[in-house]
Chain A
Amino acid sequence: MVARGSKKAGSSSGGIAKRRSAARTDRDGDLVMDSAAKRGGIGKSRGSAGKGSERGGKSARVDSASFQREVLRHVASNDRSMRNSAPTNRGQLEELKITGWTNSKASNTNDRGVGSLIDWLEKKAKAKSGPSKKPVKIKKSRVEGDDTLIISVPSENVPVILRMNGFAFAGANIEIKRVSGEAEGSTGSGKESTVQMLKGVLERRYNPTTKLLDLSALGQDQDLKAAQIFDSKSTTSKFFPALMKVLDQQFKTATEKQEAIESVSLAHNDLPNLSAVTTLAQTLPQLRNLDLSHNAFKDTESLSLWRRKFRNLDHLVITNNPLEQAQPDYSKEFLKWYPKLRLLNTIQIRTDEEAAKGTSASVELPFPIRTPIFQDEGQIAETFIRTFFTGFDADRPTLATMYYDSASDFSFAVNTQAPRDPASTASAPQDWDPNAHIRSSRNLKKIQQLPARQTRHFRGPEAVAKIWSQLPPTRHPDLAAQARSWLVECQSQPGVPDPTGQSPVGVDGFLITIHGEFVELDRDSKAETKRRSFDRSFVIGPGGPTGVRVVNDMLTIRAYGGVQAFEPETVEPFITTATATATAAAGAGAGAGSGSGVVDATPPVPALPPGVTLEAAEQMVLEVQKRTGMTVGYAKDCLEQVGWVFESALGAFEAVRANLPPEAFVQQ
């Protein structure tokens, strides 16, 4: 009887039989000595469940078994034993369980007759293996409990040995059975206890109320210390992946896991980088709060493994790491990495709104998203837009005769590959109708022949009304009530055709660009069928019964892309100054909310001409101030004088610049 490790209380009894031939080699030629004995109690029965399940062919079990081998490899204090045992993992060997031999006459030897039994089995099997008389090798053997011998034989030899079931060996009838099919782990305990130990660690360190998994100071953990996890480099590095695997197995679904664990602390672990714990990101990708304080991270680079992980990270704690000193502007980096990161070391670094959007506001682009530019005159463009979309949903034929004449052009293109709503996780099929959408789509990227380009272009109210009738009925959100679903811009456009012919070089019109959404409706039931986004560009000019005619109407229809992109990225605070009017405007601006664009029905400040929103006005004031160096008050006065046409303000400034008093300018 070989002494086993006694460290783990509760390990099953029994020893590991010493090989009868100490110099025997296994299939790989590795020496198979009694190395298992040196491992101590942990893992002494490791082969049985693992191989048994492999033979069983159930993939889930195989995975579990291989994991348990991993765990054991991680925790085994003697690497050599692992290496020596490795070939048994290959599945070519099968284990057989032999009982009933303890009563034989050979059992009074040192090895209780095991050596003789194995010799006898090999000899008998060879004799029974048919005319070839090939030698039958029992590759491995061990004794479990008091009366069970487990042997490993090549699977081709299994039938012949099984046929000896019930044979008499030295006066005792022996029973031979396959090990596979037995409940996993029933024979005992190393891997089981390791998994149990890790489970215990997790349970002890999990707080269901706060949903915090506290993996701080793992080096001080009594259980882990007892298991000598951190005694060698290799077990240390393999411990965390094993722990994560055990964690993963505690949950049936990813959602369940996500809901159970919102926060993880890895504080006080002396981590110089993330290589040892990187699997946390795979196991808990939806983590909201992460504490990495009191470690040894010297810069953000040492955390780069998690750069693209934790897309929903809300709060990161990184205090008491060398990087605070070494890289004082580290917060910038984390802002870039984590689009929804709101708090860094308990300090708010992104507004709730920005974080909720999760946009890449952190990407420092030269053109941050600003409020819409709407340079209307006399509400011409605004009235047109209001009328147009109401009419497009309600009565397309009438709309066509209202705004379209024989020279008005319409066409539409379907962008079937457009990016989808980043806030939506479901990716429902786009369902483009070959007749309604695709047949007349004029995506010039795809429609390359001239005749096809011509036929997908519609001119005049009849042709326009006809193609509109082929497009599915739509319902657009209300421009005023659902302003956030729209992004409407308008700019002056010179050189628009003059239908009267009076101006041979054309007249000024408007270029209107509208981004928004609509739902398509079933033609008969009017039930909503599909939500889509669109971009629509109009050039409108003077003419027609309403005084406004459509010169061009170009529509792009695409998959629903959400409305996050319409929200201004930069919340530009209106600079408060001594100028009473500016302050008043700022107050009113804050009250009016943002993102409403053109559709503020009643401008809160009467001084602004129709169509110029407060946001646009504020932006203009700031821009004039920036470009001219004037104070906000003078910049505002200047804009008022030119009717809030930005470009004119600059011209006006140049004209009066020499006469302006010094107090008109911001003092340097």
Chain B
Amino acid sequence: MGELGEDVLTRVSTNAAEHFVDAYYNALNGQRHTISSFYVPMTVLPTGRALPAIVYNGQTLSNPTEFQDSYQNQMPYTFFEVQSFNAHVMNPSLAPLTPDATGKVKQKELEENMSILVQVSGYVRLVERGSGPMRGFSDTLVLVPNKAEVGAKGKGKAGEGRSWLAQSQNFRFVV
């Protein structure tokens, strides 16, 4: 079983975080009908806990559709501006992978077998563009690959789906 080099771990994790962060806050701002697609599908673990585990300003949710509905129906105008973000590999080996005939696991499979911790710091303008109240926020996410193993549909044959999905999230206004 192969292992990924430090450079690959950094490249995969930081690129994944970058793409996710870009797309996710854009969705909160203006593509709210896509919000639920950023989360792993709702599942209940054997422990009784449900995923995704979203804690939003102290409110627990595990239904991405419910979360999306709140944004679509109740959230006023928002403009999220990410000022800083950072990412680490949380678990480089989520699941045992089966080697192929040569006894090796394809690099792509290895790259899609990690979870990533992402921390975001920024501000959000509420209610009105430019002049509405502004809050500082901090968002922490755990991303997992969009694979059937995490209960997701997968990216589809053409790879059209998202590569990474949020499994855990903790969001807070901090200013």
Chain A residues within 8 Å of B, Cβ to Cβ: 308, 339, 360, 363-373, 409, 411-415, 417-422, 442-446, 450, 453-454, 457, 487, 489, 491-497, 504-506, 508, 511, 513, 515, 533, 535, 537, 539, 551-552, 554, 556, 558, 561-562, 565-566, 568, 619, 623, 642, 645-648, 651
Contact = CB atoms under 8 A, between A and B. Distances in A.
B46 to A, nearest CB: 10
Interface residues of B, number: 69
B17 to A, nearest CB: 7
B121 A489 contact: no
A370 B122 CA distance: 20
Contacts of B4: none
A413 B58 contact: no
Contacts of B168: 491, 493, 511
10 contacts: A367-B56, A412-B86, A415-B84, A444-B85, A446-B84, A492-B47, A493-B168, A511-B168, A537-B117, A645-B49
A511 B115 CA distance: 13
Interface string B114-153: 0101010111001100011111101010101000000000
Contacts of B101: none
A412 B59 CA distance: 27
B161 interface: no
A422 B140 CA distance: 23
B90 A651 contact: no
B94 interface: yes
Contacts of A648: 48-49
A556 B175 CA distance: 14
Contacts of A444: 14, 17-18, 84-87
B87 A647 contact: no
Given A363-B127, A450-B11, A551-B90, 6 more contacts: A366-B74, A418-B122, A421-B175, A497-B92, A508-B47, A511-B168
A442 B41 CA distance: 31
Contact of A537 (B127, B140, B173): B140
A565 B121 CA distance: 14
B115 A495 contact: yes
Contacts of A551: 90-91
B4 to A, nearest CB: 13
B175 A409 contact: no
A363 B126 contact: yes
Contacts of B10: 450, 453-454, 457
A411 B13 CA distance: 14
Interface in B59-112: 59-60, 62, 70-71, 73-76, 82-96
Nearest to A373: B55
B117 A554 contact: yes
Nearest to A616: B58
A51 B60 CA distance: 71
Nearest to A556: B121
Contact of B170 (A308, A446, A513, A646): A513
B55 A565 contact: no
Given A370-B58, A491-B170, A561 B175 contact: yes
Contacts of A364: 74, 76
Contacts of B27: none
Closest CB pairs A-B (n = 4)? A370-B58, A561-B175, A366-B74, A415-B84
Name, among B59, B74, B76, the residue most crowded by chain A CB atoms within 10 Å (CB to CB). B59
B76 A556 contact: no
